[in-house]
Structure formats: C-alpha cells, structure tokens
Amino acid sequence: MKKAQASMDLLIVLGVMLVVFAILFQTIVADRITERIEKEVLLDAKSQAEKVAMAVNEVYLGGASTNKTFYLPEQLVNSKDYNLTIYDSGTVICENMGKRESVSILTSKLTTTILNDSWNTIKNEEGVIIFG
C-alpha cells in the first residue's frame, strides 16, 4: 500500500469518526438543554405558587381589612401555559406539562379559587380571604 493511499484511508476513517462523534454530541447536548428548560419552567411554576401563597398568608395574618395586589403572568418562562388552583385543603397547586408544584397556605377559608393571569387583589374580611 502506498503512503498516499494510507493517508487517504486514515482521513476517511477520521472523518467518519468525527461525524459519529458530532451526532452523539449533538444528541447529548439537545437532551441537556431540554432538561434545563423543563427545570426552569418547573422553578417558575413553583415561584408563581409561592407568590400566591405568600400573598394569601400575608393577608390572612394581617387581619380584617388587609388587602394585597399581586401580578401573575399569562405564561411561565419559555411561553409555557400553566394553571394555578387553590384547594380547600390549604394548598396552592401550579400545574404545567403534567407536573405539579404545590405550596401550603395558612387558611382554607377562601371565597374563590380562580386567579386571573394579570393583577389580582385579595382581601381579608373577618378572617375569610376574598379574591376580587
């Protein structure tokens, strides 16, 4: 075998190995990016649930006539839709992509569990939390 032929064979083998390595690397990186985005969304979901829980707790602990206004975005990070629900058990749940993040609140005395994707006002009237 001639030296030129051996060099060409080596270059071809190295080229094929480089292509295989690039495909594997791209697959691994894409999976990691997807995982990171999912974690960001779940952290944002938890943050929104905590924001609601904190507002409810502040108003509840503040006593009668206390009120608070807070903002909920229309979507989570990366334009992901979500659903925030307050249950009678005293839990705020934020659902997104089939996953749930929950936060406890101090009271279950609520007049509504519907939250708007914008500015929300809550008030304490005789120990009952009213959303409006």
pLDDT (tens digit, 9 = 90+) per residue, 24-65? 999 999 999 999 998 999 999 999 999 999 999 999 999 999
- For residue 116, pLDDT beyond 70: no
- The reported pLDDT for the residue numbered 124 is 93
State mean pLDDT over 81-97: 85
Q: What is the mean pLDDT of the chain?
A: 87
What residues pair up with 130 in beta bridges, in sequence order? 123
Q: What is the DSSP letter of 80?
A: B
Is residue 100 within 8 A of residue 56, CB to CB? The reply is no
Pairing outcome for strands 99-104 and 91-96:
antiparallel
Helices (H), the chain: 3-62
User: Is 91's pLDDT higher than 60?
Assistant: yes
Alpha-carbon gap, residue 99 to 76, rounded angstroms: 13
